[in-house]
């Protein structure tokens, strides 16, 4: 029977209604704010400056969010590449204003905040430094759901006394099903995850599948289950309703100024629709008005980076490009005077993903498939040029492909007799921190500076030169 089935007559007393709702096992659903990470990443290509966030931080801290996700993902890259801000300082600034609500970051497992695997010592030091700077929750994932690539980061976070959410890349393909997601959830628990998080990075999972998966995962683990999706397809408000009915403990939202489109459902709407149900959030959406008013004005400042999606794009069910990747892909194609070829590129993404054995299209595989698809379309030749990232993927340098890689593509990359690696990729990477420290000792003043360089050596050096140029 549906958890929300309202079979009580409308004229029944409120006492009877409360007795009905109190028979349910699930309490209030909680909301996680992702405005300052995935919200702005999905809508304005992660260009929001810290100064534009500060005016609402105390209000957000007092609202009642389960956590505020504000770091990780593309924020680090964007800070040093475009904004010339120290991403480490952003954490400390948040901590000045956010006293009660945990801060969460999205971490790409062994890839940290970059796009290729790092050595274990760099991963350990990076996570430890982020914890010391003020990150409370590490939302850790591997783009292939290969959990051996998450273990070192999870261990470091737990050692620092922080929480670990195991982030399952929730996708659809011939090689993904509910049982595969249950296995991934259980593998996260085996490495110490304190919660699991189903992330539909493109908004392509339909409400029924989402509800069945949430219920199955929740039945298989004894930790909270979180749900995350994007509104690109137009299904996601309904999907959240069904996922919450199925027992999701926390859902990711934005205030309406940064909601919908390629982003996520609006906090105000979720609060309103759950009012007087067994999953009532207990929150007052009217307290978001001042926050929303400020962020509406902020968004206007970044109009040039806006996603050009109008309405919905149900074709995301096929191409599965995430919200954040779509806005960046559109921007890049526009710079190349090729925005009119977006539909061709998205169709080619589907074919490239199949050739690669159906990787979930989270970072870095959305970028990998999107970039290779763009090259295939614009050059007019499929795999006439193969990116170094695709070559590394085919060699197994990112981990285990979910399905079989196209044999013709394999032969182009591997050559005669070469086989993909089968061990954990980082096992083949020598410790690197001391070497990196020596390379940047002329500029690095702190361990954080070394780690900035470690993430993106060329870009990191340029940023540190900028940071210290007046000293």
Instruction: Report, in angstroms and rounded to the nearest whole number, the Rg of the chain calculated over CA atoms.
Output: 22
Best CA proximity match to 298, nearest among 2, 30, 50: 50
Whether 128 and 88 have beta carbons less than 8 Å apart is answered as no
Report d(CA 223, CA 211) in Å as an integer: 17
Q: Give the pair of three-digit tokens for residue 90.
A: 């952003």
Q: Give the pair of three-digit tokens for residue 471.
A: 């000293």
Backbone angles phi, psi at 200, to 5 degrees: -90, 95
pLDDT tens, position by position, for the chain (471 residues)?
Answer: 344 443 333 333 334 334 333 435 788 999 999 999 999 999 998 999 999 999 999 999 999 999 999 999 999 999 999 999 999 999 999 999 999 999 999 999 999 999 889 999 999 999 999 999 999 999 999 999 999 999 999 999 999 999 999 999 999 999 999 999 999 999 999 999 999 999 998 899 999 999 999 999 999 999 999 999 999 999 999 999 999 999 999 999 999 999 999 899 999 999 999 999 999 999 999 999 999 999 999 999 999 998 777 788 888 888 787 766 776 788 778 888 888 998 899 889 999 999 999 999 887 888 899 899 999 999 999 999 999 999 999 999 999 999 999 999 999 998 777 888 989 999 999 999 999 999 999 999 999 999 999 999 999 999 999 999 876
How do strand 67-72 and strand 137-140 relate by DSSP bridges? unpaired
* DSSP state for residue 249 in the 8-state scheme: S
Report d(CA 452, CA 180) in Å as an integer: 35
Whether 280 and 274 have beta carbons less than 8 Å apart is answered as yes
Residue whose structure tokens are 């999870």: 154
Alpha carbon of 268 to those of 14, 211, 245, 272, 286: distances in Å? 25, 22, 18, 6, 8
Report d(CA 8, CA 21) in Å as an integer: 11
Mind listing the domains of the chain with CATH numbers? Answer: 28-304 (3.20.20.70), 307-426 (1.10.472.90), 432-467 (no CATH)
Q: Give the pair of three-digit tokens for residue 151.
A: 């273990």
pLDDT of residue 6: 37
Helix, strand or coil for residue 241?
A: helix
Sign of CA dihedral 95, 73, 460, 392: positive
Whether 349 and 319 have beta carbons less than 8 Å apart is answered as yes
Whether 398 and 357 have beta carbons less than 8 Å apart is answered as no
Backbone angles phi, psi at 225, to 5 degrees: -115, 125
Burial of 407 (0-12, 13-18, 19+ CB in 10 A): exposed
pLDDT of residue 309: 78
Sign of CA dihedral 349, 353, 356, 360: positive
Q: Give the pair of three-digit tokens for residue 284.
A: 């007052």
Q: Give the pair of three-digit tokens for residue 38.
A: 């995935």
pLDDT of residue 334: 86
Best CA proximity match to 159, nearest among 131, 180, 182: 131
Report d(CA 133, CA 136) in Å as an integer: 9
CA 120 to chain centre: 22
Whether 128 and 89 have beta carbons less than 8 Å apart is answered as no
Which letter, b or e, does each residue of 314-345 get, where b requires 16 or more Cβ atoms within 10 Å of its Cβ? ebbbbbbbbbbbbbbbbbbbeeeeeeeebeeb
pLDDT of residue 387: 93
Report d(CA 377, CA 388) in Å as an integer: 18
Q: Give the pair of three-digit tokens for residue 149.
A: 């690539």
Strands (DSSP E) found in 150-249: 163-169, 195-200, 225-229
Angle at 395 between CA 390 and CA 401, to 5 degrees: 80
Whether 42 and 324 have beta carbons less than 8 Å apart is answered as yes
Best CA proximity match to 143, nearest among 431, 437, 467, 400: 400
Q: Give the pair of three-digit tokens for residue 322.
A: 């995430």
Residue 269: CB atoms within 10 Å:
16
Backbone angles phi, psi at 460, to 5 degrees: -65, -40
Report d(CA 462, CA 35) in Å as an integer: 28
Alpha carbon of 448 to those of 74, 90, 432: distances in Å? 17, 13, 15
User: For residue 161, how many C-alpha atoms fall within 13 Å in the half-sphere facing its CB?
Assistant: 3
Length of the chain: 471
Best CA proximity match to 45, nearest among 313, 347, 333, 343: 333
Q: Give the pair of three-digit tokens for residue 314.
A: 């149900």
Preceding amide of 364 cis, omega within 30: yes
Whether 242 and 265 have beta carbons less than 8 Å apart is answered as no
pLDDT of residue 2: 42
């Amino acid at each position: 029977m549906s958890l929300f089935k309202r079979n009580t007559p409308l004229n029944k007393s409120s006492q009877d209604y409360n007795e009905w709702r109190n028979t349910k096992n699930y309490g209030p659903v909680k909301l996680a704010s992702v405005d300052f990470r995935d919200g702005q990443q999905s809508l304005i290509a992660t260009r929001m400056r810290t100064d534009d966030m500060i005016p609402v931080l105390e209000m957000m801290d007092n609202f009642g969010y389960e956590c505020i996700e504000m770091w990780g993902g593309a924020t680090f890259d964007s800070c040093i590449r475009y904004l010339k801000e120290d991403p480490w300082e952003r954490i400390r600034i948040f901590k000045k204003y956010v006293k009660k609500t945990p801060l969460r970051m999205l971490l790409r497992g062994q890839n940290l905040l970059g796009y290729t695997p790092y050595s274990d010592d760099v991963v350990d030091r990076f996570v430890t430094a982020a914890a010391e700077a003020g990150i409370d929750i590490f939302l850790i994932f591997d783009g292939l759901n290969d959990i051996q690539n998450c273990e070192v980061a999870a261990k470091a976070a737990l050692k620092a006394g922080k929480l670990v959410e195991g982030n399952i890349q929730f996708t659809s393909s011939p090689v993904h099903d509910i049982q595969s997601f249950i296995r991934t959830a259980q593998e996260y628990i085996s490495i110490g995850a304190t919660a699991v998080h189903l992330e539909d990075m493109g908004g392509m999972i339909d409400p029924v599948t989402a509800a069945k998966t949430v219920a199955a995962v929740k039945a298989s683990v004894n930790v909270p289950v979180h749900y995350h999706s994007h509104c690109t397809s137009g299904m996601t408000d309904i999907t959240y309703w069904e996922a919450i009915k199925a027992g999701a403990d926390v859902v990711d939202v934005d205030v309406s100024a940064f909601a919908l489109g390629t982003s996520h459902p609006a906090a105000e709407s979720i609060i309103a629709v759950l009012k007087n149900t067994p999953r009532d959030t207990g929150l007052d959406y009217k307290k978001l008005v001042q926050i929303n008013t400020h962020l509406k004005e902020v968004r206007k400042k970044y109009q040039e980076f806006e996603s050009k999606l109008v309405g919905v794009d149900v074709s995301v069910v096929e191409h599965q490009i995430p919200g954040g990747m779509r806005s960046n892909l559109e921007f890049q194609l526009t710079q190349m005077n090729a925005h009119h070829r977006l539909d061709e590129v998205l169709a080619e993404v589907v074919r490239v993903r199949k050739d690669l054995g159906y990787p979930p299209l989270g970072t870095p595989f959305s970028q990998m498939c999107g970039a290779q698809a763009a090259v295939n379309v614009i050059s007019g030749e499929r795999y006439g040029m193969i990116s170094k990232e695709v070559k590394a993927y085919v060699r197994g340098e990112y981990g285990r492909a979910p399905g079989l890689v196209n044999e013709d593509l394999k032969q182009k990359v591997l050559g005669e007799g070469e086989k993909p690696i089968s061990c954990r990729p980082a096992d083949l990477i020598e410790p690197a921190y001391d070497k990196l420290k020596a390379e940047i000792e002329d500029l690095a003043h702190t361990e954080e500076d070394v780690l900035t360089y470690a993430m993106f050596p060329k870009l990191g050096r340029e940023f540190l030169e900028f940071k210290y140029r007046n000293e």
